Structure 1
Amino acid sequence: MAQRPLKLVPQLMAILAVAVITLALWAAWLGWDQHRDVHPDGSETGPYEAWQVIGLVLTLLAPVYWAASRRYFAGAVLGVTAGLTAAAYYDWSDDSSGLFMVGVGMVMVGSLVVTGAVSAVIASVKTRTGPARQRS
């Protein structure tokens, strides 16, 4: 099977497109909720609910699938990672303790690892079931 050479411009466009979509999805799912819940014992949780984060993750599967199935692995992995990292930084940077950078770093590393794994699975499945596969 012949491999396509890595083309720089389509990869960069995929990174940009997936990053913009990721930023929009963050805004839609998490960006509007800035309210922390205060419990009777004085502890705080939030601002996000579990359903919001699950919704974000599930909707991010669409752009990751789009990019990975077209062999734009850099677009899938770096686009989502850049988008989530930028959104988390912008959303959390008003924290006066400075600990928001720990969270941003965790988002960056976590999204890099998870999108890399998901992209590899998508590419593997797409390769086995793709139209280019012929029986001998």
Structure 2
Amino acid sequence: MREGLMRPVLRQLLSILALAGVTVAMWAAWLGWDQRRVEQFDGTATGPYETWQIIGLVLTLLLPVYWAASRHYVMGAVLGTTLGLTAAAYYDWSDDSSGLFVIGVGLVMVGSLVVTGVVSAVIASVTRDI
């Protein structure tokens, strides 16, 4: 009886860890290599990421989120992706001496939690009968 109850919990935990690992790897592939800021003519700096990199990361993350949510590992899709994006953002931005990177990391955490929650719920409800 106990083993039967632990199996779904273990699968959810493994899906969280797998999605977190995939998310960190995708962050590194799309955003990890570009660390330079671009100086504008008015003296401001933009970057280090281009719009196409963010779009590529989001579109690429849809595949593992779809995989997990369609197999009803919604917690894995939501928490794994959020954990991976938050950890990667913290690691990537923590060299900021002002300390304001924590606000950005918090926004990444909340935004990814909300968006992956909605996307995963839609995917799980659409694929319920399949």
Q: Is TM more than 0.5 here?
A: yes
Structure 1: runs of 5+ lacking an equivalent: 131-136
Letter in 2 for 1:45: T
Q: What is the deviation of 1:127? A: 1.6
RMSD of the TM alignment (CA)? 1.1
Q: Which residue of 2 is the match for residue 123 of structure 1?
A: 124
Question: Partner of 2:45 in structure 1?
Answer: 44
| Equivalent-residue separation in structure 2 for 1:90 and 1:123 (angstroms) | 31
**Distance in 2, Cα, partners of 1:47 & 1:108:** 19
The percentage of aligned residue pairs carrying the same residue is 71
* Superposition TM-score, scaled by structure 2 size: 0.94
Per-residue deviation, 1:124: 1.2
Structure 1 residue ranges (4+ consecutive) displaced by more than 4 angstroms after TM superposition = none
Q: Which residue of 2 aligns with 1:32?
A: 33
Structure 2 unaligned blocks of 5 or more: none
Is 1:93 matched up with 2:89? no
TM-score, length of structure 1 as denominator length: 0.90
Question: How far, CA to CA, are the matches of 2:105 and 2:41 in structure 1?
Answer: 29
